[in-house]
Copies of this chain bind each other. A is one copy, B any other.
Amino acid sequence: MEKENVTIYDVAREAGVSMATVSRVVNGNSNVKQATKDKVLAVIDRLDYRPNAVARGLASKKTTTVGVIIPDVTDMFFSELARGVDDVASMYHYNIILANSDDSGTKELQVLENLLAKQVDGIIYMGNGLRDKLREQFSHTNVPIVLAGGVDEKNQTPTVNIDYTAATKDAVAKLISNGHKKIAFISGSLEQAINKEYRLKGYKEALAEADIAFDETLIFATNYTYNAGFELANELYGTSATAAFVGADELAAGVLNGLTDRGVSVPNDFEIITAINTKLTQITRPQLTTISIPMYDMGAVAMRMLTKLMGKENIENGRLSLPYGIISRQTTR
């Protein structure tokens, strides 16, 4: 049962050819006579030979694995992205090394170091922004990197995402057109570029276009959890806000339930638009009106872009904004 690893050398011997020839048939090199190819294939089958990817990687300097830096696989937004990444990765015969970063600056750096040590052919980075330290490390390596679903405020890195500013603007505009003047902006930390530089910008633009003054007290930055939202509902209750844009679905679900439990009727007394369109949005009652982000596609497209980069193909455009939508459900009128 202890299958001593059979090597290319064993196959060569059994088939009566050189290991170079075996290598050729394994790699689908065309310059092999059909007869010998068959012979070799037969031996491979008989010996149950499985090429050692590590040796392959050392010799060819390609590992056919890509690193994926993800804040948290448990987060529905990111896991959906990851699924898109993995599907096209495996389509192109790549494997992914998945590493959680908790969106922490130090962990990210350490994870990157790890991934590079493992000689990944490319990296997909997910996060809520791109810290300078990390961007700098990125620029020091030859390994291609693409951002999936995130933003690089300095536009130095190939990226696949949506136009978060425009999407937020649209969402807030919808609230405005429903008659609201006091609209809360609820998001994760404003240290994250995606919130500070993009979403908040869209929010402000929408207000500006409607000549509504920006009100600092309507800005809430918390963490992306259900409980944070639930508790925030309290605070919100005391403000003049009559509607809210929320930057994450779980957070929005918390706000919604918190408000509801407090006797606020959504959407009659308060309207909510959330930002992602994860499954959650259909499970809450009332169902959440939301921006819809093509999460899976962003992951898939990002990975596809990475394959091109790894293949040294020319990339027409390294910054792809995929289309988004707004789905009206029951938390808006």
Contacts and interface: CB of A to CB of B under 8 A. Distances in A.
A133 B138 CA distance: 43
A139 interface: yes
Interface string A99-115: 11000000000000111
B90 A83 contact: no
30 contacts: A1-B139, A3-B142, A52-B117, A53-B117, A53-B118, A53-B119, A54-B54, A54-B57, A54-B58, A54-B63, A54-B119, A55-B58, A65-B118, A73-B73, A73-B79, A73-B83, A74-B79, A74-B82, A76-B76, A79-B79, A83-B100, A87-B100, A90-B99, A90-B100, A95-B114, A250-B283, A260-B285, A280-B283, A283-B283, A284-B285
Nearest to A142: B2
A307 interface: no
Interface in A219-267: 226, 250, 253, 257, 260
Interface of A: 1-3, 50-55, 57-58, 63, 65, 68, 72-74, 76, 79-80, 82-83, 86-87, 90, 95-100, 113-119, 139-142, 226, 250, 253, 257, 260, 279-280, 282-285
A165 to B, nearest CB: 27
Contacts of A53: 117-119
Contact of A140 (B1, B82, B118): B1
B284 A283 contact: yes
B257 A279 contact: no
A90 to B, nearest CB: 7
Contacts of A282: 226
Contacts of A100: 83, 86-87, 90
A141 B250 CA distance: 42
B52 A73 contact: no
A96 B82 CA distance: 14
A228 to B, nearest CB: 13
A287 to B, nearest CB: 9
Contact of A95 (B97, B139, B140): B97
Contacts of A279: 226, 250
A-B pairs with lowest CB-CB distance, top 4:
A98-B98, A54-B57, A53-B118, A53-B117
A96 B280 CA distance: 28
A86 B100 CA distance: 7
A276 to B, nearest CB: 13
A73 B260 CA distance: 32
Contacts of A55: 58
A42 to B, nearest CB: 19
Nearest to A3: B140
Contacts of A253: 283
A321 B278 CA distance: 32
A121 to B, nearest CB: 11
Residue picked from A52, A80, A118, A226, most chain B C-beta under 10 Å:
A118
Given A53-B117, A53-B119, A280-B283, 19 more contacts: A1-B139, A1-B140, A50-B116, A58-B58, A65-B97, A73-B73, A74-B79, A76-B76, A79-B79, A86-B99, A95-B115, A95-B118, A96-B99, A250-B279, A250-B283, A253-B283, A257-B285, A260-B285, A284-B284
